[in-house]
Amino acid sequence: MAKNPEIQDHNTLFQSEKYKKQAENKLLFEAPCSIQEVEETEDYLKTEEYKDINFSRAAATINPAKACQPLGAVLAGLSFEGTLPFVHGSQGCVAYFRSHFARHFKEPVPAVSSSMTEDGAVFGGMRNLIEGLQNSSALYKPKMIAVSTTCMAEVIGDDLSAFIENARIEGAIDKEFPVPFTNTPSFVGSHIHGYDSMMRSILSYLSEKKGDIENKVPTDKINIIPGFDTYTGNFAELKRILELMNVDYTILGDHSGNLDSPANGEYNYYYGGTKLEDVAQAPNANGTILLQKYSTKKVEKYIKTSWHQKTISSWMPIGIKNTDTLLENIKQLSGRDIPAVLKEERGRIVDALTDSHAYLHGKRVALAGDPDLLLGLISFCLEVGIEPIHIVCTNGDKKFKKEAEELLLKSPYGIDGKVHIGKDLWHMRSLLLTEPVDFAIGSTHMKYCAKDAKIPLVRIGFPIFDRHHMHRYPIIGYQGTLNVLTLIVNTILQQLDDEAPDHSYDTVR
Ligand code: SF4
């Protein structure tokens, strides 16, 4: 069918006479600054003086590289079989979580809200919660409902434990129906803390109510907890590695099915996820490996103290060294050897890193993201001679800062790196404009400061709204390392082409 000329992309649509005229008319009712004033302000924002003022900012956050606590709790809920995430509080918050995930994963996201409004804020949200639980279980027939909270419910101090118990007494839900819950106030913490709290709540609920921790029957299985990981491709890669090593495993928290289900004509609210009975049996495993130590702090503590189980936690296994560590950890817990096929794969990726090294060596990069992701990426950069210069971690704590600084100091490529915790992407903008780097790595939200600094952005992290299918490709393991390398080196080569004079516009790079 021929393209309809009336339907235009908005890049061209808003250049048409009609819209140009509309913009001119708008100016009659606004009192815009002069072009000179705008340019002078833009220039001032690039100065060291403004950077110092920006870094002394204490009462406002601009474009933070983090999301809300309950958003993380929703992701944790989506990673278990037949589980409906239920957020007690305002409907608008949940619309934001669902749209955030839907834009990143390009999938529908089943999550409900108790839709508290003004009367709930004044008299408490118990009726909303009880009726919400009753309606959700009747309409969506889940096997489990995972309840978290928004700021509104937290500010008024709603008592989740008592409200859920009242729902059982009233018969809104069955006495035995599993409803793990956790408090997720977003005025403290971030999505990784909400994920951690909900994961701990689900693991403790299912292992204590449905399992039998006191009478453990040890098995050869191992548990793996991926953490707040928004790459469905990472789950496939992890399973491939475990199967190549012939390991009997349980992934605790697997949302890769729910957020990457096939289009086969039928919509299934619940697709995949960790089976509830597997969680009940998880305390019997030989041990647990946590792939993100900062997004599963409470979970690790719970497993150690309540399951009395050995735990090994690390940061995301990105890069050769971190993947080696992951394989060694799996070997240590499972007793299985690393097969030749994985050793060969390692060799091929080392070869690929060597092939690209000349274009990456000495390149300066700015990074923003979650603590575990950043530690994995910094480690990868140092392996290939990229120099991390500005590292912004809005949701990082002092322990993360210390660990990141120690990692940087281990390499000559890391000595100029500075780690900024609790800072946002407006701080990052000041850093990029006063101390330039060659490229940036971060989520879609970083595209604005990267554009202002005229540097390319390699999109790695969460959320990625403006590119498709990135989350389907792994960034962990040897294969994931190859993907990260490919993304970075081809961005550098594209920039080289874009900036090349005719005599250097080469066919071979
Ligand atoms: S900060 Fe609180 S009120 Fe705002 S969207 Fe997040 S949970 Fe909702």
Q: Which of the pair, 121 or 224, is modelled with greater confidence?
A: 224
Q: For a substitution probing ligand 1, which of 71, 184, 186, 190 has the most ligand atoms within 8 Å of its CB?
A: 186
CA–centroid distance, residue 92 to ligand 1 (Å): 8
> Does position 21 have pLDDT exceeding 70, yes or no?
yes
Q: Is 241 helix (H, G, I), strand (E, B) or coil?
A: helix
pLDDT tens, position by position, 403-416:
999 999 999 999 99
Contacts of 363 (CB under 8 A, 6+ apart): 385, 386, 387, 438, 439, 492
pLDDT at residue number 13? 87
Cα of 6 vs its chain's centroid, Å:
39
Buried b (16+ CB within 10 A) or exposed e, 398-417: eebbebbeebbeebebbeeb
> Does position 4 have pLDDT exceeding 80, yes or no?
no
Q: Which atom of ligand 1 is nearest to the CA of 184?
A: 7
- Over residues 61-77, the mean pLDDT reads 97
Mean pLDDT taken over the chain: 95
Query: Could you confirm whether 155 is annotated as catalytic?
Result: yes
pLDDT at residue number 9? 84
> Does position 147 have pLDDT exceeding 80, yes or no?
yes
Q: Which atom of ligand 1 is nearest to the CA of 187?
A: 1
> Does position 291 have pLDDT exceeding 70, yes or no?
yes
Helix/strand/coil percent split, the chain, to 5: 50, 10, 40
> Does position 30 have pLDDT exceeding 90, yes or no?
no
CA–centroid distance, residue 185 to ligand 1 (Å): 8
> Does position 294 have pLDDT exceeding 70, yes or no?
yes
* DSSP per-residue letters across 430-499: HHHHHS--SEEEE-GGGHHHHHHTT--EEE-SS---SSSSGGGS--SHHHHHHHHHHHHHHHHHHHHHHH
| Beta partners for residue 88, in sequence order | 149
H/E element holding 145? Answer: strand 144-149
CA–centroid distance, residue 270 to ligand 1 (Å): 26
In whole angstroms, give the CA distance from residue 118 to residue 109.
26
Determine which one of 74, 87, 112, 151 is catalytic: 151
Tokens of 497: 């082409």
Q: Percentage of residues in the chain with pLDDT exceeding 90?
A: 89
pLDDT at residue number 1? 59
> Does position 154 have pLDDT exceeding 90, yes or no?
yes
Which residue is listed with tokens 């490919």?
486
Q: For a substitution probing ligand 1, which of 69, 150, 184, 195 has the most ligand atoms within 8 Å of its CB?
A: 150
In whole angstroms, give the CA distance from residue 400 to residue 419.
9
Contacts of 186 (CB under 8 A, 6+ apart): 68, 69, 70, 93, 150, 151, 194
Burial class (CB in 10 A: 0-12, 13-18, 19+), 350: middle
| Beta partners for residue 83, in sequence order | 144
Q: Percentage of residues in the chain with pLDDT exceeding 70?
A: 99
pLDDT at residue number 2? 65
CB 398 within 8 A of CB 374: no
**What is the Rg, in whole angstroms, of the alpha carbon atoms belonging to the chain?**
25
Domains in the chain (CATH in brackets) are 69-209 (3.40.50.1980), 222-337 (3.40.50.1980), 341-503 (3.40.50.1980)
Tokens of 159: 């008592």
| Beta partners for residue 289, in sequence order | 224, 312
pLDDT at residue number 10? 85
Choose among 345, 222, 335, 205: nearest CA to 280: 205
Write a three-state SS string for 147-214: EEECHHHHHHCCCHHHHHHHHHHHCCCCCCCCCCECCCCCCCCCHHHHHHHHHHHHHHHHHHHCCCCC
> Does position 215 have pLDDT exceeding 80, yes or no?
no
Query: Could you confirm whether 93 is annotated as catalytic?
Result: no
Q: For a substitution probing ligand 1, which of 93, 155, 183, 184 has the most ligand atoms within 8 Å of its CB?
A: 93
- Cβ of 73 closer than 6 Å to ligand 1, yes or no, is no
pTM of the model: 0.95
Residue 178 binned pLDDT confidence (cut-offs 50, 70, 90): very high
pLDDT at residue number 499? 94
Alpha helix positions (H), 32-181: 35-44, 48-55, 69-77, 91-105, 118-123, 126-140, 151-156, 160-170
> Does position 388 have pLDDT exceeding 80, yes or no?
yes
Tokens of 446: 């970083």
- Cβ of 93 closer than 6 Å to ligand 1, yes or no, is yes
Residue 8 binned pLDDT confidence (cut-offs 50, 70, 90): confident
pLDDT at residue number 417? 98
**Residue nearest to ligand 1 atom 4, measured at CA:** 93
In whole angstroms, give the CA distance from residue 299 to residue 195.
10
